[in-house]
Structure 1
Amino acid sequence: MNTTETKKPVVVYGATGYTGRLIIEYLREFNVPFIAAGRDGDRVREVVERVPGIDTVEYDVVQVEHTVAALTELFDGASVVCNTAGPFIKFGGEVVESALAAGAHYLDTTGEQDWVMHCADTWGPAFADKGLLLAPGTAQMYTTGEIAANIALEEPGLDTLDILVLWRGFPTYASTQTIFTILKANHYYLQQNEYMQWVPTTTFEVNVPGQHETAIAVPWGGTSHPVWFKNDPRVANVKVAGGVMERSVMEGVVATTKMFEEQIRPLDAAGQEAALAEIAGSVQAGMPPRENPRINNSVDSVMASGPLGRAHVVLHGNSNYKQTGLLQAYAAYSLLQQAPLRTGFASACQAFGHRNLLGQLRSFGLVLNPSVTRLS
């Protein structure tokens, strides 16, 4: 299909990427008609046509320029935009502006804390005024960890979150670009409801639930959790460590961060951009293989504490990119049928409910039942 005579309710923008394809696969599971869009129509069509069973759902393929005018025209008449075209701090603004102008809910898959903060400050009130949802970061990193955190917070009186997010696998091309893009940003944790800046070269040696071997973790751009919990009256403190389980990969991340601080940060903005793009391209220029649940697993661990209580919640999962595809598709599916729990800037859990999202991940076999330990 390649016409748009009948407007489809969901637009997947950036559909040529690894995650975009997975969103399309799960939209097919929910029988949601969609438009697959990107700057190269032939590539989009090639990706979509390879999705098994794609002929069982209505869809269109559209080539579109990355401009506010072109994207607004594309989004006009749609209800939900799923944006996977990152890094979002570089390319997301036009898509958000266009979704707002077209009156569509906006979802994306970002792991960039600075982009999430920018969305909240720049467009949150405008989306709320229109009764629309602005939910950046509807993705395994970091929605699954947010689900675990909210399970811990079901016990009143806990105000401090210590979160660990780890997964096994290798980043996609887009994720690799994001990893190197966030090196330029300041990273924050939450302390007594105030943002505090991480030292850029901070690292952690962490115990991984379910295994004896430790792992290396980093603040990972600060993550989205401090932003989501910034105005949550239950929470005062949030710190997050994250990464991949392969020690060699994380050793490379640590070394690159140190090199960036010493050699690249002193450069001007253009010099930083060129240097980081070259490094990112040398690390991952192609698309990784499709996830295997026997190999690609994830761990989201949350230790919550308060003056008189403690809780530890662990969510073991698999196929983190599939988790992202499902979360995006379910969010779109839900928005087509009912209003979100919160409009304006909101996380996936705030918009759809953490137990509901957990149920979706469970129903598709992507996470185990949470392991919960409480002391009081």
Structure 2
Amino acid sequence: MTTKPVVVYGASGYTGRLVCEYLREFGIPFLAAGRNSAKIKASMESNVPGIETADYEIAEVSHDVASLTELFRGASVVCNTVGPFSTYGPAVVEACLAAGAHYLDTTGEQDWLMTCDETYGAEFAAAGLLLSPGLAQMYTTGEIAAELCLEKPGLDTLDIAVFWGGSPTIASTRTILVNAATSRAHYLQQNAYVEFDPAQGLVPLVVPGQHELAMSLPWGGTSHPVWYKRDPRVANCKAQGGVFNAALMHGVPQIVGQALEATKDMGPEARNEALTATAAQIMNEMPPRENPRLNKSLDSVHASGPLGRAHCVIHGNQNYKQTGLLQAFAASWLLQQPPNKYGFASGCKAFGHRQLLGQLRAFGLVAEPVLTFQGN
């Protein structure tokens, strides 16, 4: 049991320590938790600026429902950064439900979002708790752009592109490979999930603000189609994304294809071990702290309807810092007032897209959105 109102589970990881950094800036006491207390201590002291002024404790915990439930008791919010979420998420969600804590995570695994919606959403709503997976730059900033477009009534189709500068972290690389091996990517068409063609490959996209085309992938389908599945305004939603580094993007399908071929006849446990080893060969060290001149982000949404169009572009920087800030602000909100919606809900549905945008703007992580409308 903890006396801290917020638990950051996976605090020693790249994203986890950024969540801790912003919790410190919001003045929120927190428990930094994970499977190795020595690693957490070293990570806090080496990678979280100003940590000596934070009100925090460290806890080591086994990854099982009983141990996590006991740890979460007394907390109001759990920020989960431990992926792959389809593998490790269920225990954390079930522990939050048992302990009576709101659940936030940073996932981009579409199958995990579907599980949260269909398996756990009703239970969280009945308990008066929020279940908000995917509260992260790659998904929430694009959702903010979509919501700005949808302020114009009569638009029912979202075409979303998400790009960022830099490379995935160790955990993200592993998640990408595991997710590609175990699940399919979907988009939303007339309120139904439709599977992307697995053989689609790279798709060139026009990116606002540059002449060069950028290469994109379905990137697991992303969170957006799941969030809009139950939104009466939206019938169609498709998202593509990638990194600005074209050479890296060209290598992703080849790496994923080789990994899938090599593990196709393995059982789940052996396959996960093999994919983890492959991920370590690709990315075996934490990326450096983000640089706003290098680590840029771009979220572009075209929204359309029978007689109208809207386009929103949000230029930003430091996508992992955006994620840390979004998590910390959501925790701050939940400690002071209820979310706008209980149960399964996206960040924008739980806290409001303009409120989230305001935080990103206040901390200098995104520019003023470029928003244009056409038609009636």
Q: Is there any run of 5+ residues in structure 1 with no aligned partner, and where?
A: none
Q: Counterpart of 1:294 in structure 2: which amino acid?
A: R
The whole-number CA distance in structure 2 between the counterparts of 1:262 and 1:95 is 31
Contact 1:343 1:351 in 2 (8 A): yes
Q: Counterpart of 1:157 in structure 2: which amino acid?
A: G
Query: How do residues 289-368 of structure 1 correspond to structure 2 at under 5 angstroms?
Result: 289-368=288-367
Q: Counterpart of 2:294 in structure 1: which amino acid?
A: I
1:25-58 Cα offsets, whole Å, 9 max, x none, are 0001100000000110011111122322223231
The aligned counterpart of 1:74 is: 71
The aligned counterpart of 1:15 is: 11
Q: Per-residue deviation at 1:271? A: 4.7
Look up the SS of the partner of 2:292 in the other structure: coil
Look up the SS of the partner of 1:336 in the other structure: helix
Q: Counterpart of 2:299 in structure 1: which amino acid?
A: D
The whole-number CA distance in structure 1 between the counterparts of 2:248 and 2:285 is 17
Contact 2:259 2:278 in 1 (8 A): no
Contact 1:23 1:326 in 2 (8 A): yes
- Residue 134 of structure 2 corresponds to residue 143 of structure 1: no
The aligned counterpart of 1:219 is: 218
Look up the SS of the partner of 1:142 in the other structure: helix
The whole-number CA distance in structure 2 between the counterparts of 1:144 and 1:289 is 22
Q: Per-residue deviation at 1:187? A: 1.0
The aligned counterpart of 1:167 is: 164
Q: Per-residue deviation at 1:107? A: 0.3
Q: Per-residue deviation at 1:278? A: 2.4
Q: Counterpart of 1:198 in structure 2: which amino acid?
A: F
The aligned counterpart of 2:124 is: 127
- Paired residues in the alignment total 372
Q: Is there any run of 5+ residues in structure 2 with no aligned partner, and where?
A: none
The whole-number CA distance in structure 2 between the counterparts of 1:85 and 1:179 is 14
Correspondent of 1:188 among 181, 186, 189: 186
* TM-score (norm: length of structure 2): 0.96
1:332-376 Cα offsets, whole Å, 9 max, x none, are 000000000000000000000000000000000000000011110
The whole-number CA distance in structure 2 between the counterparts of 1:13 and 1:342 is 23
The whole-number CA distance in structure 2 between the counterparts of 1:81 and 1:261 is 33
Look up the SS of the partner of 1:123 in the other structure: helix
Contact 1:158 1:304 in 2 (8 A): yes
Q: Per-residue deviation at 1:95? A: 0.6
The whole-number CA distance in structure 1 between the counterparts of 2:343 and 2:172 is 26
* TM-score (norm: length of structure 1): 0.96
Distance 1:225 1:52, change over 3 A: same
Q: Counterpart of 1:343 in structure 2: which amino acid?
A: Y
Q: Per-residue deviation at 1:272? A: 3.3
The whole-number CA distance in structure 1 between the counterparts of 2:264 and 2:151 is 42
- Residue 361 of structure 2 corresponds to residue 372 of structure 1: no
Q: Per-residue deviation at 1:329? A: 0.4
Q: Per-residue deviation at 1:210? A: 0.7
The whole-number CA distance in structure 2 between the counterparts of 1:336 and 1:219 is 35
Contact 1:201 1:258 in 2 (8 A): no
Q: Which runs of 4+ in 1 moved over 4 A?
A: 260-263
Look up the SS of the partner of 1:164 in the other structure: strand
Correspondent of 1:62 among 59, 63, 66: 59
Residue identity over aligned pairs, in percent, reads 60
